[in-house]
Amino acid sequence: MPTRLLAAACAALLALPAAAHDGIHIENAYARVSAAGSGAVFLDIVNHSAEPDRLVAAATDAAARAELHTHIEDANGVMRMIKVEDGIPVEGGATRSLARGGDHVMLMGLTRALADGDTLTLTLTFERGDVITVEVPVDNARTAGTAGHNH
């Protein structure tokens, strides 16, 4: 009997890493802010589930409003930033990057001055029910494509 118990315990422990990576995870989050009182948050949404999901809302006490935005090219070839009304989809088993020049979380009406090295708390709400809070460092010097290492 002790051998079976030990085997069951080992099997349960081996399953923990898989369970820890189920669902939505946020990686490489950072913010850029302007002196004009606005900013943007960029991050990677990693969906470890086989099911698709959708980022539907963002909130922070660091800004009066946090909205999901993207860039589109108009008929004249001019890039415009617009609010995303239907959320940002994330396919099952995939990563969706919110990056400069594309999808991002727009921060409007910063409620306090933010400088490089400061952090803000961002809460992300997903269609399937996940609500994830992440600490986002302000990094105005980060160039597009330079990954960070926060989760």
Is the model's pTM score more than 0.85?
Answer: no
* CATH number of the CATH domain containing 81: 2.60.40.1890
Closest alpha carbon to 147 in 50, 42, 65: 42
pLDDT tens sequence across 115-150: 999 999 999 999 999 999 999 999 999 876 544 444
- Total tally of structural domains belonging to the chain: 1
Residue 144 included in any domain:
no
Note down the domain range covering 107: 23-137
Measured at the alpha carbon of residue 30, what is the angle toward residues 38 and 61, in degrees to the nearest 5? 50
Residue 115: φ, ψ to 5° = -125, 165
Residue 3 included in any domain:
no
Q: Give pLDDT, residue 38.
A: 96
Residue 4 included in any domain:
no
Residue 10: φ, ψ to 5° = -65, -40
Measured at the alpha carbon of residue 102, what is the angle toward residues 20 and 39, in degrees to the nearest 5? 85
Identify the burial level of 60 via C-beta atoms within 10 angstroms of its C-beta, where 0-12 means exposed, 13-18 middle and 19 or more buried: buried
pLDDT tens sequence across 29-48: 999 999 889 999 999 999 99
Residue 11 included in any domain:
no
